[in-house]
Amino acid sequence: MAERTGLNIITLAAHLQQIDKDAGAQLNVVKDVAVQAASLTTNIGTMSDVLETVAAANLRAKDTLDGSIDTLKHSAERSKDVAAWVGDLEGVLSTVESTLATVNQANFKIAAIAKQVNILAVNARIEAARAGDAGRGFAVVAEAINALSKETAGAAAEVSGSTRLLQTAISDLRSDAQKTAESAHLVLKGSSHVDKALSQINRDVSAATQGTQELTENAVGVTCAVDQFGPAFAGLITALKGTALGVHNANTRAEEIIDISERAVQVAVELGADNADAAIIELVQDRAAEVSALFERGIAQGDITAPELFDATYTPIKGTRPEQFMAPFTQFTDAVLPAVQETVLTVDPRVIFCVAIDQNGYLPTHNAIFSSPQGDDEVWNAAHSRNRRFFNDRVGLKAGRNTAPFLMQTYRRDMGGGKFVMMKDISAPIIVNGCHWGGLRIGLKIQR
């Protein structure tokens, strides 16, 4: 009855352990979420500040764009005025040029007349000279006419030069006016595109401003919601802590009950009660004595020193998963333990393994069927490469540290990949020259 009770409690304890583990994990998750929620509140506050700054910047940008659009419109109006003025100037210039052409024609005629008058004056002077005294008065008149014709010709030449200069200036003015008109048209064309672009930017900035305001309002709402999460998370954490503590305490009590049930069975056997495992108890004690003798003989023969045998320095083996270790005595146990451990596997069909373990739960040399070289699959390694690893759970440590003549335990053996096997562990201490090294364990599969 004690054995059956122990098995049932072990199953219950396994579930409690998983619940304990899950509760702890959930508590950590909730704590992390609470931290993230607090961080979210801070980040949202920062985001709200940034959004307000962006909204203010958008409003300033909108005001600037409005001013730029107005300026551009005024510039376009001025460009239109310039283009219109150039058009009007063209007509005026054409009129002036026409007038200058008329002046030139008239001036040309004046110059021609002055030339004819000059010829006539010269001829009159000649005739007056021939007439002698009678022609003196006529000669004076001819001389005055000649002087007047020369002045007229000079004035006509000056007028002709001035009109030419004026025509050149008007031509230059027309050319400059045309260039100004072309520039004004380009300004009008460019301002049209810029006006469209600025109008679109203005609309986009307005939309961004509205969106930023909506985001700010939503951020405020999220902040309020997250602030409400705080007390909820605090209550949830408190509740989960209580649950986790209760489960942990229940798990501890279950392990204590397991120890009591195992101790009850062991005391019954020690008092002489009939037990189906009496032969295995005797076997594990005999084989533990053999291992003790092998270790003592190895020290005596110099195959290993006592300090090396009891050295608890464990060196990780690189690249192993699950991680394996080498101890100063591992090579020695690989040489001497198989002769004792392997023969036990054929004694009883229930026997799964027979191994020596030190007081720290380190298992240097396993049975050959559980000592395959590791591969790439960690789950496969966990089940088939069990040598040179630590099994420092409740059962492993109790087996390694027990100094009573024998120890009986029941447990679920983890085979990796979520697979477990119900096992009975019977162990006896390994004593080397009066010093406790560890224990020899025989694992029996429980048929249920």
Dihedral angle of Cα 88, 93, 96, 98, to the nearest 10 degrees: -110
pLDDT, mean of residues 253-276: 63
- In sequence order, which ranges of 271-303 are alpha helices (DSSP H)? 278-301
Dihedral angle of Cα 318, 322, 323, 328, to the nearest 10 degrees: -110
More confident residue, 116 or 228: 116
Q: Quote the pLDDT of residue 287.
A: 98
- The pLDDT tens digits of the residues spanning 24-81 come to 777 677 777 667 766 766 776 777 677 677 777 777 776 776 776 677 667 667 666 7
Q: Alpha-carbon distance 340 to 348, whole Å? A: 15
Domain ranges of the chain: 2-238, 276-445
Fold adopted by 276-445: Beta-Lactamase (3.30.450)
Q: Quote the pLDDT of residue 353.
A: 96
Give CB contacts under 8 A, 24+ apart, made by 69-72. 69/195, 69/198, 69/199, 69/202, 72/191, 72/194, 72/195, 72/198
At residue 273, does pLDDT exceed 60? no
- The pLDDT tens digits of the residues spanning 334-372 come to 999 999 999 999 999 999 999 999 999 999 999 999 999
Q: Which pLDDT band holds residue 448 (cuts at 50, 70, 90)? A: low
Vertex 24, ends 20 and 25: CA angle to 5°? Answer: 115
Q: Quote the pLDDT of residue 19.
A: 78
Q: Which pLDDT band holds residue 263 (cuts at 50, 70, 90)? A: low
Residue 387, C-beta contacts closer than 8 angstroms, at least 6 positions apart: 324, 363, 364, 365, 366, 370, 371
Q: Quote the pLDDT of residue 144.
A: 75
- The pLDDT tens digits of the residues spanning 207-217 come to 777 777 777 77
Q: Quote the pLDDT of residue 345.
A: 96
CATH for 2-238, options being 3.40.1160.10, 3.30.200.20, 1.10.357.10, 1.10.287.950: 1.10.287.950
